[in-house]
Structure 1
Amino acid sequence: MSYTTQKQVTGSFDDVVERTIDALEDEGFGVLCDIDVRATFAEKLDEEFRNYRILGACNPQLAYQGLEAEIELGALLPCNVVVYEADDGDVVVSAVDPEQLVGITDNPELDSISEDVAGRFERVLDAL
């Protein structure tokens, strides 16, 4: 069972990162954190790694609703979207499947929220 939704995207790595951030904003998400995995591994481990960014995306209204229904949900937030270079050099954008993620809470109050987020992530990927 897959825990992400992904799409190969045409363009340079940096361009795809910017387009992904813009598409997330269009769907009401802010990027709370932007982790440059390649730079971190180079600095902390002196290791080379492919271009790889983790974008911590959050829609404040949906996060509020989710935390109202399940206070421990914060351990699963923000929702991560990754942009990376595949082995063949293509750029891939991959978003966590919020229905899979929230499913571990076994709280039906979160179902409509996770469905909403899933739809928004689908539109983000379609926009790329």
Structure 2
Amino acid sequence: MRYDRTVRLDTDFATAVGRVREALAAQGFGILTEIDVTATLKAKLGRAAEDMEDYVILGACNPPLAHRALDTDRTVGLLLPCNVVVRADGDRTAVQALDPDTMVTLTGLEALRPVAEEAGRRLDAALASLTAPDPA
């Protein structure tokens, strides 16, 4: 079972992070948290993490969708498709989001399907905008 939605960009890591923030905002997602995994692991593990690629987790939230999901099941907060990973992937940058259908699959709650579908449409639109050609 795939649980991610991934695109790969031919751009540097820092540029990709900025573009991901903009793409998510355009789809109604705000960034609540940002975890620089690379810096955190280096700080906590020192040399053991020296080879870690650039890796950031953006905690994105669409409040209306989160509210609808939590009204259905308070425990679903564990599965909300909030984390978006941006990481160096060779000479490219990978952008990954949790597939919102995971909420329905793991809980078996069909009442979450409309929320998952809307979240999926919004995430897909954000990811697609990252790979669309620049209008020149």
TM-score, normalisation: structure 2: 0.89
Unpaired segments of 5 or more residues in structure 2? Answer: 131-136
Q: 2:119 maps to what in 1? A: 117
Rg: which structure is higher? 2
5 Å-filtered alignment, 1:28-67, equals: 28-46=28-46, 47-48=49-50, 49-67=52-70
SS in 2 for 1:94: strand
Contact 2:80-2:100 at 8 Å conserved across structures: no
Letter in structure 1 aligned against 2:36: D
* Partner Cα distance (1:112, 1:119) in 2: 11
Tell me how many residue pairs correspond in the alignment: 127
* Partner Cα distance (2:3, 2:127) in 1: 15
* Partner Cα distance (1:122, 1:13) in 2: 20
Unpaired segments of 5 or more residues in structure 1? Answer: none
Contact 2:104-2:110 at 8 Å conserved across structures: no
SS in 2 for 1:2: coil
- Structure 1 moving runs of 4+ over 4 Å: none
1:16 counterpart = 2:16:
yes
CA offset digits 1:38-93 (Å, max 9, x no partner): 0001100002210001111110001011111111112223521101111x221110
Q: 1:99 maps to what in 2? A: 101
Contact 1:3-1:101 at 8 Å conserved across structures: no
* Partner Cα distance (2:4, 2:13) in 1: 20
Give the alignment's Cα RMSD to 1 decimal: 1.1
Q: 2:134 maps to what in 1? A: none
* Partner Cα distance (2:22, 2:74) in 1: 29
SS in 2 for 1:112: helix
SS in 2 for 1:92: strand
Contact 2:23-2:126 at 8 Å conserved across structures: yes
